[in-house]
Amino acid sequence: MNKATHLFAITGGPGCGKTTIIEELKKRGYNCVDEVAREIIKEQVQSNGNALPWADKEKFTLLMLEHSIETYIKNKDNALITFFDRGIPDTLAYANLIGLKPPPELTEAVKKYQYNPIVFILPPWEEIYQTDTERKQSFQEAIDTYKAIKNTYNGCGYQLIEVPKLGTKERVDFILSTIENK
């Protein structure tokens, strides 16, 4: 098991502000890893691939896992605090949410590649929720995803800290002060 206490996952359902927080952390000079699912969707759409959440969900899940492991390994040996827009347990939550029996390599990866025990979770926030070319879920699906993610991270032994619904800078300040005080 690799436990990298300098790697922090920021998670939650779609459209709750994770990417905006990651962008603010980057502006402040922090090492950050973008969400792999969005990148996969963009790549698959551009190449006419079918590893998409609305096409071949199993193939999409395996690509998310592969990319998530790659980004974890790439960052685990640096000494920098690093923030991930979603972690490997998000892929397990997604598999469970869509009724896909998690492949053994996914359950193994969740155990093998661990983030800091503190995980920041953003609650569903209807006032800021928007769909786009990569995010096609309804707000109810965002709520269901949030619940699945929360259950998965809890089941994996992480301590979830809910980030309050505040402005972006205040949310980032909350995350950073929580890290400093632990």
φ and ψ at residue 53, rounded to 5 degrees: -65, -15
Query: What is the reported pLDDT for 130?
Result: 67
Query: What is the reported pLDDT for 12?
Result: 94
Residue type, 1: M
Query: What is the reported pLDDT for 32?
Result: 97
Which residues make Cβ contacts (< 8 Å) with residue 52, sequence separation at least 6? 41, 44, 45, 60
Query: What is the reported pLDDT for 22?
Result: 97
- Measured at the CA of 125, the angle between CA 120 and CA 130, to 5 degrees, comes to 110
Query: What is the reported pLDDT for 169?
Result: 98
Q: Please give the model's pTM, rounded to 2 decimal places.
A: 0.90
Query: What is the reported pLDDT for 13?
Result: 87
Structure tokens at 107: 């359950």
Query: What is the reported pLDDT for 156?
Result: 96
Q: Average pLDDT by consecutive 10-residue portion of the chain (182 residues)?
A: 80 89 97 86 80 76 90 92 96 91 94 96 82 64 91 97 97 96 74
Structure tokens at 81: 């605090």
- Residues facing residue 12 across a β-bridge: 122
Structure tokens at 106: 């996914």
Which residues make Cβ contacts (< 8 Å) with residue 173, sequence separation at least 6? none
